[in-house]
Amino acid sequence: MNSAKRHEIFACLKLANPHPTTELEYHSPFELLIAVILSAQATDKSVNLATRKLFPKANTPEKILALGEAGLTEFIKSIGLYKTKAKNILATCQLLMQQHLSEVPRTREQLEKLPGVGRKTANVILNTAFGEPTIAVDTHIFRIANRTGIAPGKNVLEVELKLLKVVPKEFRLDAHHWLILHGRYVCKARKPECAVCTINHLCEFKDKKI
């Protein structure tokens, strides 16, 4: 895999989807933060079903804290690990009010201090809410980076740092969304749909079937 091939891969992904974005529904950085915390080990679809009911009632740290643990749980109990997520969200709301004037912080260091927020979640917020060229490596992106040869690595941090190094600058802002959507709908874990893949002529997957 060389730089010219990587450039063509992202050019193809951009041509197919010029303006990619998250499938989580949100209208503010705070709503996105809550949605991303809820999305851990859950589908975006299940999160959206819950937040469509939650956000009209409570979409600020103050309003979510006012719900209390029992009230918040009623909205999110259909999502996996909802008990832990409810505790983390309430603790995060408390910190946002105490330390950040109820605003979502704009640095990785401050974001990662929030309960329920790790490096991946921080990267999503920085990229999607604040337009930073970060790449949050989830299972889809980890798989594609290794399978295609774009940025092979033994762990998610290694893949993230390699992607930031090798993805051409002009594509870096949207690379996260292109890769995650490609992994979700085309380059699937068990049965990659190589025949309809827009980058199958560039991919270095040894077992691809076209």
Q: Does 138 qualify as catalytic in the annotation?
A: yes
- Mapped to the 3 state alphabet, what secondary structure does 116-140 carry? CCCHHHHHHHHHHHCCCCCCCCCHH
- Among 113, 120, 165, 208, the active-site one is 120
Total residue length of the chain: 210
* Owner of token pair 């091939």: 5
Q: In whole angstroms, what is the distance from residue 116 CA to residue 114 CA? A: 6
Q: Tell me how far apart the alpha carbons of residues 110 and 140 are, in angstroms, rounded to a whole number.
A: 26
Which residues 6+ apart lie within 8 Å of 66 measured at CB?
Answer: 58
The number of angstroms, rounded, from the C-alpha of 192 to the middle of its chain's C-alpha atoms is 21
Listing DSSP states for 3-60 in one string gives HHHHHHHHHHHHHH-SS---SS--SSHHHHHHHHHHHTTS-HHHHHHHHHHHHHH--S
Contact 12, 91 (CB under 8 A): no
Which residues of the chain have a pLDDT value below 50?
none
pTM: 0.91
Choosing from 44, 138, 154, 188, which is the catalytic residue?
138
Backbone angles phi, psi at 166, to 5 degrees: -100, -20
Q: Which helix (H) or strand (E) holds 76?
A: helix 61-76
